[in-house]
Amino acid sequence: MQNMLASQPRGFDNYFKPHCFDLKTLKRLLNNPAFQMFGVFDEDKIIGYFFLRFFLNRKVFRGKIVDAAYQGKGIAKEMGEITTDIAYKAGFRLFATISKFNYGSLASSYAVNMIHVIKELPQDYIYIEYLKKC
């Protein structure tokens, strides 16, 4: 995964910095039972990374990134569907923070969920709750 993240174009993380992407941090998160990491693969190559971060108050936060060479193929939408299913089936409310300028992330989010903006955050981010579409 570190290789996939390192191979992304400059600025890929302008709007997505949920944690450091160095090997030490990734290993620490992998061993954290409240932080569940998932991958999307093209044979042996990881092309997508997504996660759920669970909290005792029954809230869970999600994040996702798709390799630049694979964007626009519905992968982020599929990751959103998976995280929504996991969160709701486990009885958690699903949240995220997204930049207002991260149009791809917003589009994939709206494709899967109804979005409730809880509040505006500094630096043009919004704190949202994902609601299931009926």
pLDDT per position as a tens digit, 111-123: 999 999 999 999 9
What is the per-residue pLDDT for 115?
96
Question: What's 66's domain CATH number?
Answer: 3.40.630.30
pLDDT per position as a tens digit, 21-53: 778 888 888 889 999 999 999 999 999 999 999
The Cα 126–Cα 129 span in angstroms is 10
Q: What token pair was written down for 89?
A: 């089936």
Higher pLDDT among residues 16 and 126, named by residue: 126
- Please give the model's pTM, rounded to 2 decimal places: 0.88
Parent domain of 25: 2-132
pLDDT category of residue 55 using cuts at 50, 70 and 90: very high
- Tally of domains within the chain: 1
**How far from chain centre, in Å, is Cα 62?**
4
